[in-house]
Homo-oligomer: A and B are copies of this chain.
Amino acid sequence: MTFLGPNAPLIGKPGSRAELDTPALLIDLDAMERNIAAMAAHARAVGVALRPHAKTHKSARIAEMQVAAGALGICCATLGEAEVMAAGGIPGVHITSPQVTPPKIARLMALNAKPHRGVSVVVDHPDNLLALDHAAQEARKPLDVLVDFSAGHARTGAATEEDLAALVRAAVKAEALNFRGIQSYSGNLQHIPIRAERRAKALAQLERLGGMLARLRDAGMDVPIVTGAGTGTFDLDPEARVFTELQVGSYVFMDVDYLRAIKDGRNAPPFETALFVATSIVSVNAPGYVTTDAGLKCFATDGPAPEIAAGAPLGSRYEFFGDEHGKLILAGGAPRPALGACIECVTPHCDPTVNLHDFYHVVRGDTLLDIWPVDARGKR
């Protein structure tokens, strides 16, 4: 039997949410199910497909739920994630980062050789395209590729329209590659806090991309897939009618950062916080604060601090306090939480926070319903 950590004996026990061995990563299943349903409904309403990003949850189980709600597949940031998703039977596994080194190309060919319902990868350089074509020829199985176009961010992707068009032509001609479409992800837009500014920048980028796509299609290229977008622009991108599918990730969980970015001061955020870390008070000797058992090995440190969700006196706030500890700073006059008391925090940046945990503790109300491994954690 798979080892599911020290909380496995609590599965199904009423009230067990408050008894968990901590620190523990929690999914509020009701909230996550509503998030998955809400995004699926949005996609149906605007007539766009979903290929949610598994880099957020790294879980074949959650990918299954997204596919059951209508997603046509799943995106992966690493080849290791894709191996886990394909092994879990997830269809339409698309790798959103170029795979260029010989060991990665060998693994990609091994993955593509297995029976599966669709594996694809981006290319952004003619040398890589040639290498993939040669490898796929040797493996005697064609490989689906999308050409990556650099939007805003310029992390990966062809830098100019000329380079994009040349790569598309080369992919179409390549003997063992199937050209499937274009990827353009604007990571830099997702967290712009003001919605109007996010909207203007997203639409400007999409207008440019739309123009390029029109010229490619005018030149006789078939571009079946145009993939991109994220949770921060999920409802903006479809306005432009450029994407055929959205690579949204964080909406399943949300986090401190995204909640800020989604809000524009007038609209309530359309998704709910579904991811928490439960942490216990382990020391109560200092004036004005107590010490928790969740530090920077439990929460991502690349964004804002965690926020308190439940269990602490009003006005308390969390500060990092080293690798294994947090500082719960109490408001003036607030009662001091008891030694051993359990606090739940909204997580900062969800993707790298999840990456620090081996297990999801799936709760409904106050009961631990199940424990799911974070299958693809650490898989490169």
**Which A positions have Cβ atoms within 8 angstroms of B?**
6-7, 19-23, 55, 77-78, 97-104, 107, 124-125, 127-128, 150, 154-159, 163, 187, 280-287, 291, 293, 296-297, 300-302, 320-325, 327, 339-340, 342, 351-352, 355-358, 378, 380
* Of the residues B154, B187, B285, B287, contact of A286 by C-beta under 8 Å: B154
Contact status A157-B285, CB under 8 Å: yes
Q: Verify B187–A322 contact, CB threshold 8 A.
A: yes
A20's closest neighbor in chain B, by CB? Answer: B103
| B355 adjacent to A297 (CB under 8 Å) | yes
Interface of chain A: mostly helix, strand, loop or mixed: loop
Given contacts A100-B280, A155-B321, contact A150 B285 (CB under 8 A): yes
Q: Within 8 Å CB of A321, what residues of B? A: 155
Q: Which residues of B contact A296 (CB under 8 A)?
A: 300, 302, 352
User: Could you tell me the distance between the alpha carbons of A159 and B378 in the complex, rounded to whole angstroms?
Assistant: 39
Whole-angstrom CA separation of A34 from B378 in the bound complex: 29
Q: Is the CB of B322 within 8 A of A155?
A: yes
In the complex, chain B residues whose CB is within 8 Å of the CB of A352: 296-297, 301, 323
Q: Is the CB of A6 within 8 A of B324?
A: no
> Roughly how many angstroms separate A143 CA and B212 CA in the complex, as a whole number?
71
Residues of B within 8 A of A351 (CB): 297, 323
Cα distance A104–B128 in the bound complex, in angstroms: 51
In whole Å, how far is A25's beta carbon from the nearest beta carbon of chain B?
10
Measured in the bound complex, the distance between the Cα atoms of B105 and A280 in whole Å is 13
**CB–CB A21/B159 < 8 A:** no
Nearest CB in chain B to that of A378: its residue: B358
Flag if B103 contacts A285 (CB, 8 Å): no
Q: How far is the CA of A98 from the CA of B376 in the complex (A)?
A: 31
Given A77-B324, A103-B21, A296-B352, also A128-B339 (CB < 8 A): yes
Q: A23-B380, A127-B339, A297-B352 are in contact. List 9 more A-B contacts (CB 8 A).
A: A6-B107, A99-B282, A154-B286, A155-B322, A156-B282, A156-B291, A296-B352, A297-B351, A323-B355
